[in-house]
Amino acid sequence: MVIDLLIKNIKLLQHNRLVEGCISVENGRIYYIGKETHQPSADIIIDGQGYVALPGAVDIHVHFRDPGRVHKEDFTTGSMAAVAGGVTTVIDMPNTIPHTNTLSRYKEKKEIGEKKAIVDFSLHAGVSEDEKKLQELLQSNIPSIKVYMPKLDDPLSTLRYIYSLIVENNLNTKVVIHAEDPQIIAQEKAKLEQRKAKRDLLYHYLMRTPKAEVSAVESVIKLLRDYQATTHLCHISTRESTNLIRKAKQEKLPLTSECTPHHLLLSYPELMNLGPIAKCDPPLRTKDDTIAILESLKEHIIDIIASDHAPHTLEEKLKGEDDITKAPSGIVGVETLVPLALTLVHNGFLTLADVVERISTKPAQIFCLNHRKGALKKGLDADIMLVDLKKQWVIKGSKLHGKTKFTPFEGKTVYGKVMKTFIRGTLVYDNEKIIGKPGYGSFVYPYWIGEKHAY
């Protein structure tokens, strides 16, 4: 027998230990993983040079800005950043132009991704104010819907309506929530305006107070007790929120959550000099909050790490130098997700198995992609990153592969570098070179849809 691909001379993570071995690939799927003995011939043989083979990362929170804001990013440039960072599957957010909040727009965006993406992908849908269109969208079997609470006049009423549709129609759609209370944000903004506070990063931090997130998380948990619809909370940023999630998990509520590298590793007081470059929603918090998030990751309270990759131009960001409200919120991160997570391993905060679970296995499980993604197992897609765990290097915005060439992690020393990335057995990134071509990426349906989809 002659197989398609053999990757030999690699280290595999098995039972929390690194062992020597190989991976063979047939028709884009893993055919064999284990010791190198008795391997069949292969059309392509790649020497892994002793690097560690890990499952490609699954980043469930990216903003590739396509369509409508492609001057910031598009599916191709976002994919380039992704594969350079070992990310092989992404789920893109709906706040594009037009907003991805109808079935027709969802289909259009899916077609754009299939033409331009290098990585495999799925899409979160957005909320339409038209109830009929929202109902059509949900009943079409979309995998997930994003509810951005700060933009809604009455987010709890919207959530009740979405939850009721999901429960009444026995839908599998996951509800993904940006949890901040718009009323509290408006109240704090009014106080700051009354005091004529200087509009700097502190203004943004105080306006989007931790109370706004905590209140929203509390409200979501109360609704879940009534509706029991699977829900995922984005970018948790406060200690109080982690405590609420801990209690919800003790109640066995269908709730999962994520944190971002920037909320995990950066804190507000240290970043005042970065100004608008460090502006994000929710804002960066205190050192105590970052410690709480790391503790929650260790305890499996927060389930996964996702990038919330949100690119902007430098010109757009710098509009906030004198008035932070004029700068858009967002930090790029799809390319630095893996090395920042691996640095936590180097520094002894997490084990390598912990990181694989948080960036690959759990994201695929939570978003129902684990029939194809998230692990190195026979029969799954051969999505593989080869990593030099000993490689020490410095993050430089100018060398990032997306359109945004700046990052609040500028100059940070990290440990662990992605050397090669494979998607479905095809080499798409090789030692600083993007090999994958636009259009290679495919839409990934959750296992409960399979081929019986309506879009």
* CATH number of domain containing 191: 3.20.20.140
The helix or strand, by DSSP H or E, that contains position 77, with its residue range, turns out to be helix 75-84
Q: How far is CA 421 from CA 2, 233, 323, 355, in A?
A: 23, 29, 41, 17
What 3-state class would DSSP assign to 94?
Answer: coil
438 domain-assigned: no
Q: Which residues are catalytic?
A: 308
217 domain-assigned: yes
Other CB atoms within 10 A of residue 213 CB: 29
pLDDT of residue 450: 67
Written as six digits, the tokens of 48 are 């892994």
pTM here is: 0.97
pLDDT of residue 1: 67
The share of the chain scoring above pLDDT 90, in percent, equals 92
51 domain-assigned: no
Other CB atoms within 10 A of residue 283 CB: 24
What helix, strand, coil percent values describe the chain, rounded to 5? 35, 25, 40
Domain count, the chain: 1
329 domain-assigned: yes
150 domain-assigned: yes
DSSP state, 219? H
265 domain-assigned: yes
Residue 38 binned pLDDT confidence (cut-offs 50, 70, 90): low
Residue 452 binned pLDDT confidence (cut-offs 50, 70, 90): low
pLDDT of residue 3: 85
Residue 71 has pLDDT above 90, yes or no: yes
Q: Which residues contact 168 (CB under 8 A, 6 or more apart)?
A: none
Residue 269 has pLDDT above 80, yes or no: yes
pLDDT of residue 352: 98
- The predicted model gives 2-22 an average pLDDT of 93
- The predicted model gives 106-123 an average pLDDT of 98
Q: What's the domain range around 225? A: 56-375
Residue 376 binned pLDDT confidence (cut-offs 50, 70, 90): very high
Q: Are strands 413-423 and 384-394 parallel, antiparallel or unpaired?
A: antiparallel
Q: Mean pLDDT across the chain, nearest whole number?
A: 96
423 domain-assigned: no
Closest CA to 4 of 311, 424, 412, 453: 424
At position 261, the amino acid (one-letter code) is P
Written as six digits, the tokens of 188 are 């704090």
pLDDT of residue 270: 84
73 domain-assigned: yes
- Determine the Cα–Cα distance for residues 124 and 61; give it in Å rounded to an integer: 9
pLDDT of residue 60: 98
